[in-house]
Amino acid sequence: MRLPGIIAIAALGVLLAGFARADTLDDVKEAGRIRVGMDQSVKPFAFRDPTSGEIVGSDVNVAKMIAADLKVSLEIVPLTAANRIPFLLSGRVDIVVSSLTRTAERMKVVAMSRPYGGSYDVIAAPKSVDIKSLEDLAGKRVAITRGTYLDQRLTALAPASTEIVRFDGEDTSLAAVTSGQFDIVAKNVAILPEIIKGTGDRGFEQKFVVSDLPMSIGMRKEDASMQKWIDDWITAHLADGSLDKAFSEYQAFSLPEFVTQWKPE
């Protein structure tokens, strides 16, 4: 074997070993900054305050707490529901704090923390629309946000004749409903007040719950140190009540028991 080839292979091995040892937690501390991916159109998790112009919400509260406890600055990187995982895997963000539902499918691709928040996905429609279950969606049009857990669930569970119309962002799917294009929408219950407010006398209401939503912080699978730090951080702040305070400041309810009483699988 030629020596240059051996050197090249050895150099590649060193390079790959370096990647294997990469530790995002150490990188964040060294840089003095954490890049947090977040969809900024999902009120009340993250949205632009119309008065101050600042991005606020329960996920913003959590990101600020994480940065403060790491003693680093916070950079919120805007993204959409559909590209939360791609942004994380490509290294454009260090973690994702963006109402990311903890699912077995996602955990095959990325590491997910113990739940730090939780909510419910619901079907909403005007009082005049008589739907009580998934079966009642047969033959009907439903607006939804592409790439969400609810998109996956509804696609799998709704009758085949249901017309699921997908929008790329929470804001665009909400606009489609408030402008009168749709009478049925699949949304997180936290967004229901915005729907009711935006649809006026159309009388929107929650029809039924599709699923519980334990929400986790997303990390890359190789980031074992970051995952342990985040899991320990969530456990500590659930115990002292500060996570519930950060959550309920913008939500209409406190953290659900499936978050506060969560047990590892």
| Torsion sign over Cα 52, 54, 59, 60 | negative
Question: Are 112 and 230 a contacting pair, CB within 8 Å?
Answer: no
Task: Choose which CATH entry (3.40.50.740, 3.90.1150.10, 3.40.190.10, 3.90.420.10) describes domain 3-118+214-260.
Answer: 3.40.190.10
Question: Are 174 and 42 a contacting pair, CB within 8 Å?
Answer: no
Closest CA to 117 of 205, 206, 218, 185: 218
Q: What is the CA radius of gyration of the chain?
A: 21
Instruction: Report the greatest alpha carbon distance in the chain.
Output: 80
- In what helix (H) or strand (E) does residue 224 lie, and over which residues does it extend? helix 224-239
pLDDT for 247 equals 96
Closest CA to 95 of 109, 76, 71, 80: 76
pLDDT tens string for the chain (265 positions)? 333 443 343 344 434 434 444 689 999 999 999 999 999 988 899 999 999 999 999 999 999 999 999 999 999 999 998 899 999 999 999 999 999 999 999 999 999 999 999 998 999 999 999 999 999 999 999 999 998 889 999 999 999 999 999 998 888 999 999 999 999 999 988 888 889 989 988 999 999 999 888 999 999 999 999 999 999 999 999 999 999 999 999 998 899 999 999 988 7
Residues of the chain with CATH 3.40.190.10: 3-118+214-260, 120-212
Which CATH fold would you assign to the domain 120-212? D-Maltodextrin-Binding Protein; domain 2 (3.40.190)
How many CB atoms lie under 10 A from the CB of residue 82?
A: 16
pLDDT for 190 equals 83
How remote is the C-alpha of 81 from its chain's centroid?
7
Indicate the burial class of 52 (C-beta count within 10 angstroms; 0-12, 13-18, 19 or more). exposed
Question: Are 169 and 187 a contacting pair, CB within 8 Å?
Answer: no
Question: Are 177 and 129 a contacting pair, CB within 8 Å?
Answer: no
pLDDT for 10 equals 37
Neighbouring-strand partners of residue 143: 165, 185
Strand extents, DSSP E, the chain: 33-39, 47-48, 55-56, 73-79, 95-101, 111-112, 117-126, 141-145, 163-167, 185-188, 204-219
